[in-house]
């Protein structure tokens, strides 16, 4: 399930964050992959055009260069994996999620 959020304080210690661009064909392709993950996991989604400030805060807080599309996986408050652009695939996301267990 997708959840929109407006503040970095709304991100739990265990989270999946998806930065999505409504203007990018690559992002739409990536979202199709993330849709598969969102069936069984909560995914925090940021529409970059709607909330660039929050995207920048995440970049600064987690020390991850902003890209879009981008998926960031957090466990116990720390980034355990990230994928950008064409690397965003269901199986790659699942690899990160399962290695964190």
Assigned CATH for 2-99: 3.40.30.10
User: Residue ranges per domain, the chain?
Assistant: 2-99
pLDDT at position 100 over 60? no
pLDDT at position 9 over 90? no
Give whole-number Cα distances, 74 to 22, 26, 49, 83, 93, in Å: 24, 23, 23, 12, 12
pTM of the model as a whole: 0.92
The phi-psi region of residue 76 (left if phi > 0; otherwise alpha if psi is between -120 and 50; otherwise beta) is: left
45-65: pLDDT as tens digits: 999 999 999 999 999 999 999
What radius of gyration do the chain's Cα atoms show?
A: 12
21-51: pLDDT as tens digits: 999 999 999 999 999 999 999 999 999 999 9
């Amino acid at each position: 399930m997708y959840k929109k959020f407006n503040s970095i304080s709304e991100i739990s210690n265990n989270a999946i964050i998806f930065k999505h661009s409504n203007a990018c064909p690559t992002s739409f392709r990536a979202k199709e992959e993330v849709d598969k993950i969102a069936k069984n996991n909560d995914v925090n989604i940021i529409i970059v055009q709607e909330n660039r400030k929050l995207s920048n805060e995440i970049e600064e807080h987690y020390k991850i260069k902003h890209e879009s599309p981008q998926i960031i996986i957090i466990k116990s408050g720390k980034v355990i994996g990230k994928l950008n652009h064409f690397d965003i695939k269901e199986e790659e996301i699942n690899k990160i999620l399962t290695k964190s267990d």
